[in-house]
Structure 1
């Protein structure tokens, strides 16, 4: 088919060690991306392309079952074993608040779609405020597994084309196909990173170009000729550049776009330099016996370090580990990787038959499924038991804040294990627009025919969170309710003109003006900033709607915190959480709200008093858990505002 260098490349083992250590180091101490995963992708592309071409050269065929079974024997034992360990530890060492999310991600990791699970759940890998599961890093494994399937289809097509059309210049054909994949995927990655970086970070199609580069390097490496001086310079440039990636670039908004070329180019430099042995080149370090030994553990180190770090954060300290603690995590990762490789992965990989290997893998997978079933059923039982007692009398919620109703002594609702699932109906049925689209997505609720008025909840998640209260308020009325919200997008004129968020705001304004909407409900301030310009941008669309004849109920934004309230409630208890809540300056929009109220431009509603008992902000009010994260309220708490919204709607719509 094509001549490639089919020989052991010891410097690649050293490169894998460096990549694993960079990933671990930046995760443990800096909470940043290092570029190490991108190196893994390039190396994976290089190695799998080498393996595929060698197989075709040797046998003249390329069959799916031998190809995939060989990969699964290598990958699944470690993956399934670590997931089993995480499941067992989750019973005892994870907060209730993260259990449900962890179970979902373990299932996604088992079946290699964790990257899509994170993408569609609006996870931001680089946001330190979001609660992380111990298996979140399996997104990279999922992409790798999907890439292997894509590569099978590509090379199956290449082999078919070569045989059918008697193509002799196979290198040119492979370069054309892999180069096309590289260019298309890179362009898409740059585009999507610019408009929706958290989503772009996880999806397969923004990452395939990284594997393609490794494939292109494999196909062309034998034709690259360099002397010893160039090899030495390239090698050291690559290694130094790779180590400095996380220091030189603010990757929080840049990966996986064009900036990923930097660590990938560094990896290419190192691999190319390894074709020539030099006295003072990096190959002497990376290809040393110690690095070769450690290279076989790098895969396990990547998998274990995040698991250990996660349990450290949830059980020892939420702050970054100190030097000694961090080194302990890294050393423990190497030890666990060695033990896993020696006693789990290697025996299965070297099983006498493929059937026996997969029988052993299936045992671990079955254990995982049993543990998942136990966790899920336990959680559902607790949830159902509490739901039986869920009455307005037992759970008055917000109306209890003013001390005018009796609050019985019952466990808070929702349970901490289910608080993240206590979401507005629009999130459950998918009528909230995602960050990928600019179109107006509308959820229709309330009375859908013969309605006398239409109320639209408009804006970001800080408007959407009130939908439960609005829907409860209109029960038994002739009002229709529309949900017109978009994740992470304020109904504001503060975005750049070419920003997808700005396009959504424009589309939403046009839609509301075209429809027969009587009242728009949305937050008119942002409590996490005191910048007057931002607050004014929030008012501009509301003013435009008012001029078009639409009435507006402007809500003051709820208090926001710099810590996860429900996580603190779970781990530190209610009293310490109360103390933390009242130490923070949780509403910076005071001046903007006072100005808005005095202007009497809109109907206004400040609900701050319902987040306190007396003068004290509380995480549980009227037996209802108030927050589900840092700054969003639970749907159950929102529903308890129904009497307040009902009065507002009657006052506005029945005038």
Structure 2
């Protein structure tokens, strides 16, 4: 992380405990990333870093005020830039090269975009935004995703000296107007800074607790929900001279037990950090109140100021290897994540335990090399003797270069993606024997391999040339047209529903072109055409309220649009079967409520719509199906399959069509093309059938065209 390796000196000497804490923090993070099941809460190491940064930077700034009476903003930012940016920009440049070498075509553009946001330290904002982007939620992590914490820290460095300088200036003005009693300036400015930090901690902690409950995904990344962690470390820095002085006086006074108390507190702090790392997990609402445990634990270790008792943890933290890991912690943090993401792409398989150990060792080796040949020469070299403004100009130029490098290649990434899409489309159009769904329909395909590798690769599974869907929070009614122009069409049809309707777009677009249909698509994420009040225990109340309100609005707009276009004669619809709705007391369960609401919505359709065709929802895969496919080779179809009883959900829309008195309602069920012989497979006929656990890939949708056409022929003359 970004905390400095040049430790502040205290009366007790060099702070080995802080360096040891840094080692503890980076080990927690690396173990969590390499072996997440072994340490499910290891992400709290980031919070340890945040507290350390708050303590160290506030200490430095207060000493500058004590020494010079002010804070040089340009000087502070220049020192931070010399310390942090050489290593981080180096990692970004190397990672950009790695992306082009091993990343699949479907991921290159997104990865390069995140390199750019990381270079200007707004990756946390980008991730907070994409965390509510329905199409990006299941996207594979980028090799620079860990820059979110560095971005939050850089934003802290940008604001913190301004805050402290403002508090110092305000304290002086209050003294000059005699609103404050005459005191020595030293305690006065510390008091002003302390008051400012208390306000920051109080407001940020309250916001973190509220926002983590309301919208946990973006709350995790934002600096506003983390500012109180930096502030907590800052408050300790404000109080530490008084606290340390009291400890010293009591020790001199002969109270021998104080050493034991300090040792116990330090151990308790380490235990609190360890408990959080072991007890927390992905389901823990975080940061919020839960972050208080590792934060308080870190404060306890720092606040005891290296206790020297016989059983104190100081000796353990001061061990040579621990100190060295602390020295390299920033570099280790920078290097480990790109290796974790890019190495499996280069190897073509998931990391083994041996690979994971190699990543850990390589991260430390790269950190040591970066420290020796890049960080130290720049931090202590020619830039250190230059004026701060010169340093800032050089740094800004370097950041610009790192942004321009991926930016200049985005066009090539787009061309590469288009070429891969066209190659796959040509393969599907050629209709080779036993490709995709054809392997299910033909009994001669048992021993035939349609293609030499699974297509598309996971990065291309969601990279459909066609997309038309409204975001989960928006009520905008997008209307997209495919097939032939309406004035030349033999029939006009509509595909309406949530993302499980939109996933069929590649197939319907092809069918529309074949039949001279004019196809319109009206789709909204997590919003079926019918029930508009979702219920979910995994979704925050705020997101749920916004989603339900926008869904109700979108449903009305979609109904109005269909009423205003009587030329639409057929409506195809689908929805995710397991998305629960708010149950009505008149129904036995939520599925019954959903089924009734579908029928009520369809009854509102104009009589000009001759058919309402429900596509049964597609089966689901296990959460680890992609890693299973990656590690199973040619046996993925069988080894990663899910039993039909687990993969296929009860579908309220199908029940509504089956029970509807409306003769227009009908059902198309293609489950057999996903689950032949009672086993639902992620790879069928050499084609990756799913883009995530519950959406089908655009390639497999295209291979289903002839079989979907047969079903349509049976319903629509």
Among candidates 303, 317, 321, match of residue 286 of structure 1: 317
Structure 2 residues not aligned, in runs of 5+: 1-7, 181-187, 248-257, 443-449, 563-570, 581-587
CA distance in 2, matches of 1:559, 1:60: 68
Give TM-score scaled by structure 1 length: 0.79
CA RMSD of aligned residues (A): 4.8
Cα displacement (A) at 1:221: 2.1
Q: Retained in 2: the 8 A contact 1:491–1:538?
A: no
Give TM-score scaled by structure 2 length: 0.73
User: Number of residue pairs matched?
Assistant: 632
CA distance in 1, matches of 2:458, 2:209: 39
Matching residue of 1:176:
195
Q: Retained in 1: the 8 A contact 2:534–2:548?
A: yes
Greater radius of gyration (CA):
2
Equivalence map 1:107-146=2 (5 Å): 107-122=116-131, 131-146=140-155
> 1:73-108: CA deviations, max 9, x gaps?
111111122223333344444455544443332222
Matching residue of 2:573:
521
Moved more, 45-54 or 483-492: 483-492
2:118 corresponds to 1:55:
no
CA distance in 2, matches of 1:258, 1:614: 49
Q: Retained in 1: the 8 A contact 2:105–2:416?
A: no
Moved more, 64-73 or 309-318: 309-318
Equivalence map 1:244-393=2 (5 Å): 244-274=275-305, 277-288=308-319, 290-311=321-342, 313-314=344-345, 321-322=352-353, 326-353=356-383, 354=386, 355=390, 366=401, 370=405, 373=408, 377=412, 380-381=415-416, 383-384=418-419, 387=422, 390=425, 393=429
Matching residue of 1:555:
615
Moved more, 375-384 or 448-457: 448-457
Structure 1 residues not aligned, in runs of 5+: none
Q: 1:625 to 1:331 in 2, by over 3 A?
A: closer
Equivalence map 1:146-545=2 (5 Å): 146-166=155-175, 169-224=188-243, 225=246, 227-274=258-305, 277-288=308-319, 290-311=321-342, 313-314=344-345, 321-322=352-353, 326-353=356-383, 354=386, 355=390, 366=401, 370=405, 373=408, 377=412, 380-381=415-416, 383-384=418-419, 387=422, 390=425, 393-394=429-430, 418-422=460-464, 425-426=467-468, 431-433=470-472, 437=473, 440-446=475-481, 457-459=496-498, 461-467=499-505, 481-486=521-526, 493-495=534-536, 498=541, 500-501=543-544, 504-505=547-548, 508-509=551-552, 512-513=555-556, 515-516=559-560, 518=562, 521-523=573-575, 525-526=577-578, 535-536=591-592, 538-539=594-595, 541-545=597-601
CA distance in 1, matches of 2:668, 2:236: 62
Matching residue of 1:33:
41
Q: Retained in 2: the 8 A contact 1:305–1:330?
A: yes
Q: Retained in 1: the 8 A contact 2:578–2:649?
A: no
Cα displacement (A) at 1:485: 2.2
CA distance in 1, matches of 2:18, 2:704: 60
CA distance in 2, matches of 1:72, 1:60: 23
CA distance in 1, matches of 2:356, 2:58: 36
CA distance in 1, matches of 2:327, 2:46: 16
Moved more, 616-625 or 551-560: 616-625
Q: Retained in 2: the 8 A contact 1:493–1:538?
A: no
CA distance in 1, matches of 2:698, 2:452: 19
CA distance in 2, matches of 1:458, 1:173: 57
CA distance in 2, matches of 1:156, 1:453: 67
CA distance in 2, matches of 1:644, 1:346: 65
